Structure 1
Amino acid sequence: MKQTVGLVFQLAWMSLLLGILFAYAMFEGGFTSWFLLDSFVPIFVYLLCLQFYPLKGWKVNRTLSHYKVNAGDHLRVVITMRRKLRFPLYYCVIEEIMPESLNRLDIRRKKYTFLDAPEQLAAQRRVKKLIFPWFKKEMTVSYELVQIPRGRHEFTAIHVRTGDIFGFMKKQHLYQLTDELTAYPARPAVRLRESMKYQKQGSLASSAMHFQAGNVATSIREYVPGDKFSWIDWKQTAKKNDVMTKEFEKDKSTDVLVVLDACNRGKQNWLQFDAAAELSAALLEAFEKKSSKATFLSVHDKVEHFSIAEGRRAQLDRVYQHLAAVEPVPALFPAVLLQELNKMPTGFVAYILTASLDEMLFDVLRKMNMHSHGIHILLISAAAELADSDRMLVRHMAKQGITVTSLTKKQLAADPIEVNVF
């Protein structure tokens, strides 16, 4: 309806202008008046043809240099437009309708310096390109998309606007064109600074990032950060000209549970959750390299299970796809986790990534600790120091054998990220 009204108004305006010039030529009768009328007639004919030119008949295509990237990467987008008629067009303005999910910047590790002020990473991305097609049948424009944030970003439309050189007539059309870009979470290097051991029910368990070696070495593998110095096989290292470490039977049987708190309880910002998602991916990748059996739980309004067996890279890729799309939803993390306790295996080492602590979570973790070999909480903290209530909870958890590592913007911006277990 709005376009129809605009069309009628523009036609009426041009007709009125033509009528004024015709009346002026008829009454004046001089060279100037007829020259003005004769000069405007071809312009009027062009504007009339432009008004009925089928802009919606163009074939528009969008091509991304990559459809799957890591957070912080950049890519090139190419928009191609093809038309059948060589109708002269003075200009075209091509605008990409950007998804709202791209309205923030990912500057890789440096973004965590804004952990307490994530609004500084907000950015209103606008892409407009001006071209002069004239008689061309095919037109191409391109632009760079930089500092892409984690998530699934869906491009839905391209807006094209054109008109005449004088600005009398304007035409526009919105092309519905869908493409999806997936930005996987970055996987920062993680190093556990201390190895904590817990004595529980007569069995000794160690931190999952520093596995306790057994007595029998079953094979060798390439060295990865976090391996103990005593595990290095010097003979094989000299033979292969690469640092090799021994792999023990106990390494292969270590069960690891990584739990991501994807519940929005109003106590975290989007950058804290991004940090938790990236650390989840980094920990799971480290465990996969150590040939450890790992289970990943994504806890939001429901619990999603991912099992990562030894050598099953495809299973790890499924986790990355989930972490690229997951966003926190309104839910109570301790309550959802409590419903999952009976389904959990026994004898595991758990890493829980969350942005807040409370008494209800403490109660759930005490019950969970009865069936585990150790629980480690990685607390993503926007504040430089913990609140007094959180400090008290940390002390109570330590008495129950539950360790808490507070990761602030300083620790998260480091390379590698050092997880201090206390």
Structure 2
Amino acid sequence: MKQRLKRLRQLKGFVGVILLLIVTFVYAMFQGGFVSWFLFYSLIPLSIYSMLLFFYPLKKLEVTRTIDTRNVYSGGKFTATIHVKRNNRFPLVYVKFEEKVSPTLAHIISWKRMIFWGMKKEFMWTYEMDHIPRGEHVLEGLTVQGSDLFGWVKSEAFIPNPKTILVFPSVTEMVYVPIETRYDQGAAISRIQTMKDTSMATGVRSYQPGDRVSWIHWKSFARTQTLKTKEFEDRQSQDLFVLMDRTPTDSFEDMVDLTASILQAIVRHQASSAFLSLGENRFFLPSVQNESQLQRALYHLTKVQPDLTKSIEQVILHDGALAQATSLLYVTSNLTYEWIDSVQKTASNLRVCTCFVVKQKDAKLLKEEQILHQFAASRGIRIHTITKDRFAQAFLEVTRS
């Protein structure tokens, strides 16, 4: 229906030009004189050009798009270049280009450009967008509109060239320190540096903040000028269980960024974790320990929406994966008494439970929230209120508590 209306408007301009020629000709015939005939002959080339423009095949333009930004992250910059090519030199006066985008981007920016094309056969146009939102967006194609000198006739065509772009969550580089370390004799819930048994070194690894000076392998440092730390036989790997709450909240985007940063930090430091995202659709990865598994998790976090309509307390009571968790890391913006009771009933093997409560910057804890956090601490759950500017130190804050 819209296409028909556009075509009728274009046809209206074409018919208007013909009527204008007829009127000026009739006027010249009846009026006579130099002025009336001059007006008629002056309109002839303009009218012929307008009629030719009406039939000009804009749809035959060749359009290619090059994405200049390799990886796009939430809040970052996206850049693309449009290359338009044609096989003739028909003079085009005013030409407007517009990149048609999906509704997820339409309300943010309109990528338009108007030029005086002339007789050139090619045109290149680069546009960029700042603060692009997280998600899956589609660049559908290019709308090209040509106009004559006075705007009497307009010719328009849409050239499809679909391209999907993924805008990943904004990832913060974190200083990763394991929350719990397991030993051959059992489990220990404390800072790593106070539980280290240095009886036997089995290898070396890269230095991490928090390692003792006595653990540094000085011989390796003398050779390579790179700090290395001794690995000990009794230290075993740790598997976290990362749980993300998708209840609608103003801090949801920050929650997504924090979750993505946590998972990346775990993989970068050769640790592993399980990842569970609870919303309208349940997403679960039993293991996130390499780049391919991390990319699966990031792809989910790219498209995820705050769509949990039920209370998360009801959802976790029936989740079998959570029941096996021993070290839980919970990301939310709204902690409740019901969640504390539910998670302790569900995860019967739980030894360590840490909760990141994401808040907006400069937001202050209410008195009720402070009481709730004290109650959680009395039940063995460590609560850390965190804002986006402190994401990089999130794990260090946990180990200091």
Q: TM-score if structure 2 supplies the norm length?
A: 0.87
Structure 1's 237 and 334: CA in aligned 2 closer, same or farther, altered over 3 A?
farther
Q: 1:281 aligns with which of 247, 252, 260?
A: 260
Q: Contact (CA 8 Å) 2:66, 2:80: kept in 1 or not? A: yes
Task: Look up the match of 1:114.
Answer: none
Equivalent position of 2:115 in the other structure: 131
Paired residues for 1:350-361 under 5 Å: 350-361=328-339
Greater relative CO, 1 or 2 (CA 8 Å, sep 6+): 1
- CA shift, 1:170, in A, is 1.2
CA 1:276 to 1:197, structure 2 compared with 1: closer, same or farther past 3 Å?
A: same
Name the residue aligned to 2:298: 320
CA contact (8 A) 1:252 1:292 kept: no
- The change in CA–CA distance for 1:388 and 1:193 in structure 2 (over 3 A counts) is farther
Does residue 24 (structure 1) correspond to residue 2 (structure 2)? The answer is no
**Contact 1:94–1:158 under 8 Å retained in 2:** yes
Offset, 1:343:
5.4
The change in CA–CA distance for 1:305 and 1:247 in structure 2 (over 3 A counts) is: farther
The alpha-carbon deviation at position 290 of structure 1 amounts to 3.6
Whether 2:226 is the aligned partner of 1:242: answer yes
Structure 2 Cα separation of the partners of residues 317 and 248 of structure 1: 31
For residues 372 and 394 of structure 2, what CA distance do their matches in structure 1 show? 22
Shift of 1:67: 4.6
Find the aligned partners of 1:263 and 1:78 in 2 and give their Cα distance: 38
1:363 matches 2:338: no
Which blocks of at least 5 consecutive residues in structure 2 are unaligned? none
Note the C-alpha offset of 1:256: 1.0
Shift of residue 254 of structure 1? 1.4
Alignment of 1:10-409 (within 5 A): 10-102=13-105, 124-191=108-175, 203-206=187-190, 212-215=195-198, 216-249=200-233, 251-264=235-248, 268-269=249-250, 272-308=251-287, 312-331=290-309, 332-341=311-320, 344-346=323-325, 348-368=326-346, 370-382=348-360, 384-408=363-387
In the aligned structure 2, how far is the partner of 1:261 from the partner of 1:401? 20
Q: Is the 8 A contact 1:192 1:210 kept in 2?
A: no
Over 3 Å counting, the alpha-carbon distance change for 1:247 and 1:181 in structure 2 is farther
The answer to whether the 8 Å contact 1:262/1:328 transfers is yes
CA distance in 1 between counterparts of 2:81 and 2:72 reads 17
RMSD over aligned CA atoms reads 3.0
SS of corresponding position for 1:367: helix
Q: 1:117 is matched with which residue? A: none
Offset at residue 102 of structure 1 (A): 4.2
Assess if the C-alpha contact under 8 Å between 1:276 and 1:353 holds in 2.
yes
Alpha-carbon distance in structure 1 between the residues aligned to 2:247 and 2:90: 56
**1:309–1:98 distance in 2 versus 1, CA, 3 Å:** closer
- Contact 2:324–2:347 (8 Å) recurs in 1: no
| Runs of 5+ consecutive residues of structure 1 not aligned to the other structure | 104-122
Compute the displacement of 1:236 (Å). Answer: 2.0
Aligned length: 390
Q: 1:369 offset after TM fit, Å?
A: 5.3
Alpha-carbon distance in 1 for matches of 2:174, 2:227: 19
Please state whether the residue corresponding to 1:321 is helix, strand or coil: helix
